[in-house]
Structure 1
């Protein structure tokens, strides 16, 4: 039998009115051990209408009829407690002034609210329990058996969500806290520690595990994944802590573990107050706004409520994508979408002059090392150096307060054109720091996980096609950090910079790319016999390892633990103008570019044509 919403509210209200009657009467009966004297029968009957009227009015006032019994929860119980508490005090206060000539036992005034809470709260939770068993009880036997690793808040929320799932049936929890062993959460037992997973899998035959530890350190999460992988079961995980907090996803949206989860780092601690001062209610501009770093900078900046965010991007499609994303995620954000080339001085001057940004984050750059090495070297020089100079010059002309250059670890002792041009871009910014209004800040970091052209998407695509996975060299290593972490630290460095500094991000430990490939193969459910790794040799301009400091550089600490300042060689503005004039002449080829870069960037050591450091044939595989 179905009822309309109004009918349901009326039924619940009638239920609570009857509850006031029953609890008031039962309080009298309990007070006199179910043998009620005649004079107190009169007291009960004469006070009952007053009590029912007062309590019903207070229940309406407290909004007890907005919720649904089927979803009764702790907030509903809190509202009931508050409403009953106020009603009990009101009844106790009103009775003496009614001049009824009757006596209400004080114990009745105490017993009545206790009974009322039990009836009203108990009936709601009993209905929810019956409804959930009726709807979801049979489903709990249908799902795939799974064991949950972790017993924190995320694991508890996951169990609650999976109660209604037809896909999964949780058979137990594993947690390292000894005091939790043998306890139950939503009827699911904590079966032991993470180390006992192999034994439990053997006993129960479970073939799936969900790692529900989003707020734990990445070391703890990796340990859990490694234990599950060692058993050979499918490992899933809940969304990241940031995604859960932001409301983008729910905890029950489990997915397969990706390599990014294992390479994760501890959350960045930001100076929120300082960043609000830098960004909030101010105009901020991002060049290369549609790229990997540029788009993430836009997302992070949007969190601090700028008055206007200017998106400067050459690619129409990339600009459209970030504009649509920001419109959906930050509907109140004012955005200006500007298509333009960072080498176009007139366009930049018009844009900066029109919007008058107070901070500019320059992320536009050519960054693909082998592609920029030979025939594209002149374009790398123009885009990375002349483009940086053009944006910086516009900022100086229009007195922009902060200019932040996104640099790279490949600018340190560069062996390739891309790295040398980024080092030259740093020098250009240093040379323009002449005491004017604009303060130039440079930020160096290594590879970011999942960026366009990075190794992880490439490996993922190769694994999806059945392999092989190509790695340039068995010993090649790289630094990695997540795109959000890189963007957050860039903003933090921009806040801290006073002008002319090169900030170096703490990239943690470098990672062997071959180990990364093996990890991705394993996480994809394959073995190294099924998906082979092929070593192809270092590409033009590539190094075995990247550095964050040149040989003659030292660093100074900053108040932020993940940021240091490099003490690098500086140049003056006259030197910058001479270099820019040569680039603007445009009369050069790749050989001339490399020769000139060597003159400008003394630490630049280009590889000789045909040079390879890997003396193994391309067909060698690893098993």
Structure 2
């Protein structure tokens, strides 16, 4: 071990000069050896003395000219060895030509012997040099740092590249103990130094057998369903997880040796078990291009992603409106970095409650499309502050819709929520009233008013996933409101694609909804996130149940379980709720009364007015006291929307 470390230290310190010195010695030894084997005499000594310098200069000069010293010997591979052989052959051919041209006497057997020996020695030197560096590096690592036992899932090209990098420069101190793969033909074989020991169903068994601490999922082209299955298996091992991104980010000719840096932590999107929804961007681009677009709430989770995607479609002008200056500044700087002067953008710090400011914006700009994302969305907070939900959600939508109608905007797209269906909270009820507002305006306006409903958005501000991750990071406990609570999830880009496409295909009055697949149990999500952090639920991180919060549902409404009440669109997974008639006079009178009650902080009056406007709204003032058995699955109800589902309580 001491010899390896000493050699490693020496070669590593003088690695820029030692290769040149080694090749110089190889050239001299290759040239002298055939003379020595055939027997030394004064004539041969004279020939050697007169020609060895010529041979060495030609040999080293050829290697320098062919740039073989620019390749790092630490990463010597087949291609580098091939170049080395070519350089050696060319050097010897040049030496032969020079000696023939200058009529220098050389024994003929010297040429083939020196050529063969110099080629073999140059290859051997590089392999030995690389081995000493690798072994010495690994020895120094093992003495100075604790290695991490690793299992790799997948025995494909990505794993081959990764293991090559680990072998060459293991800065992460990984000790790859085994590989698992579902290809039976690979089981029992090796990639470099790592054996393929079984299929993915043996992950838990092999993790225990090989004392695995970290699992790397190295199947970048895997489909979502199999990824979820493998992640669930990995979650049972208590190992930390890393995952390679999609295959397109790995095909990079600029540096496959940096593959380990592409590893990322497992994200909650990986647990959803469905393929992401991707819509045709070209249609959206054709609609947005050269349009003046206003995004209210443009600094929020949905609003900022709207701005990102709209900016990519070359709008004539993008107007970002938000009351929170920090959020607005953040998205402004991001778009400036990404698009510079190619994007015509302005930021308006304003509230949608301020009708005068909205009037000033609409009257001075010929706005084509409005995406109305400004809203209060936190259910428990709005239960305690209903007047703010009324002023911001209802009045903000009404004010913005009035301006869109007055100044003949082409489209007005309301960002709604599935909580607007059979609402049990003030936030959901106010968003349902917002939908009613746009339906009323659509009945009498030249502007096309449309709403888009979707479920919970992964990673949005204040959503459950960042909360769980923060709780895990700080040691817990992880708080789940109820053991049986379930939610539908989608990613922010998916939600925004839906919104943009709705703007394109809307003719007015529609409420677009998305088939989001199977719901996810929040308890299972919490447990998986803990396991994927390499921890044990209820041992390392405690999971506690706090009870449903005020206004919170156990099951969100299943908007698209029966399709007979919805109209199918040209786009897969997007449906339209059949519009319902709304009495304009009754709605506008009620909104006026709601506004007055909100300004006067008359909470009970506010709630009664909301109940009158939204017949399916049911107040749940004491949800926290309900037991698990008091909740049942949603059952069909036809009170308001054509086909929706409702939670019935015992």
TM-score by length of 2: 0.70
- 1:557 aligned onto 2:561: no
The aligned residue for residue 546 of structure 2 is 536
Contact 1:413 1:603 in 2 (8 A): yes
The aligned residue for residue 503 of structure 1 is 512
Contact 1:365 1:384 in 2 (8 A): yes
The aligned residue for residue 46 of structure 1 is none
Contact 2:276 2:494 in 1 (8 A): yes
Contact 1:177 1:193 in 2 (8 A): yes
**Equivalent residues, number:** 531
User: 1:2–1:179: structure 2 CA closer, same or farther, 3 Å change rule?
Assistant: closer
Match of 2:626 among 606, 614, 619: 614
User: 1:418–1:69: structure 2 CA closer, same or farther, 3 Å change rule?
Assistant: same
> How far does the alpha carbon of each residue in 1:18-52 deviate from its partner, in whole angstroms, 9 at most, with x for none?
xxxxxxxxxxxxxxxxxxxxxxxxxxxxxxxxxxx
User: 1:388–1:364: structure 2 CA closer, same or farther, 3 Å change rule?
Assistant: same
Give the Cα–Cα distance (whole angstroms) in 2 for the partners of residues 511 and 351 of structure 1. Answer: 42
The aligned residue for residue 348 of structure 1 is 358
- 1:298 aligned onto 2:298: no
User: 1:156–1:394: structure 2 CA closer, same or farther, 3 Å change rule?
Assistant: farther
User: 1:388–1:127: structure 2 CA closer, same or farther, 3 Å change rule?
Assistant: farther
Match of 1:361 among 368, 371, 386: 371
- 1:164 aligned onto 2:169: yes
Give the Cα–Cα distance (whole angstroms) in 1 for the partners of residues 368 and 128 of structure 2. Answer: 60
Match of 2:150 among 130, 135, 146: 146
Contact 2:163 2:192 in 1 (8 A): yes
Local SS of the residue matching 1:231: coil
User: 1:201–1:288: structure 2 CA closer, same or farther, 3 Å change rule?
Assistant: same
Contact 2:76 2:126 in 1 (8 A): no
Contact 1:70 1:131 in 2 (8 A): no
**5+ residue gaps in structure 1?**
9-55, 81-121, 618-623
Aligned-pair distance for 1:464? 3.1
Local SS of the residue matching 1:434: helix
**Mean Cα deviation higher: 438-447 or 183-192:** 183-192
Give the Cα–Cα distance (whole angstroms) in 2 for the partners of residues 591 and 330 of structure 1. Answer: 49
Contact 2:321 2:348 in 1 (8 A): yes
**Mean Cα deviation higher: 461-470 or 570-579:** 570-579
- 1:370 aligned onto 2:352: no
- 1:283 aligned onto 2:302: no
- 1:334 aligned onto 2:344: yes
Local SS of the residue matching 1:458: helix
Local SS of the residue matching 2:382: coil
Contact 2:236 2:531 in 1 (8 A): no
- 1:318 aligned onto 2:322: no
Local SS of the residue matching 1:216: coil
User: 1:526–1:588: structure 2 CA closer, same or farther, 3 Å change rule?
Assistant: same
> How far does the alpha carbon of each residue in 1:524-570 deviate from its partner, in whole angstroms, 9 at most, with x for none?
31331343332222222112111044999921212222211111423
> How far does the alpha carbon of each residue in 1:370-427 deviate from its partner, in whole angstroms, 9 at most, with x for none?
11113x1111012111111222222223332222111111100011110010001011
> How far does the alpha carbon of each residue in 1:269-297 deviate from its partner, in whole angstroms, 9 at most, with x for none?
21121011122343322211111111222
Contact 2:319 2:348 in 1 (8 A): yes
Give the Cα–Cα distance (whole angstroms) in 2 for the partners of residues 165 and 352 of structure 1. Answer: 59
User: 1:273–1:592: structure 2 CA closer, same or farther, 3 Å change rule?
Assistant: same
Aligned-pair distance for 1:253? 3.8
Match of 1:482 among 485, 491, 503: 491
- 1:433 aligned onto 2:445: no
Contact 1:282 1:306 in 2 (8 A): yes
Contact 1:348 1:394 in 2 (8 A): yes
Give the Cα–Cα distance (whole angstroms) in 1 for the partners of residues 122 and 318 of structure 2. Answer: 49
- 1:396 aligned onto 2:408: no
Give the Cα–Cα distance (whole angstroms) in 1 for the partners of residues 627 and 436 of structure 2. Answer: 36
> How far does the alpha carbon of each residue in 1:292-336 deviate from its partner, in whole angstroms, 9 at most, with x for none?
111222223333333432211110111122222333344443331
- 1:420 aligned onto 2:420: no
Give the Cα–Cα distance (whole angstroms) in 1 for the partners of residues 347 and 121 of structure 2. Answer: 56
Contact 2:181 2:199 in 1 (8 A): yes
Aligned-pair distance for 1:509? 1.6
Local SS of the residue matching 1:602: coil
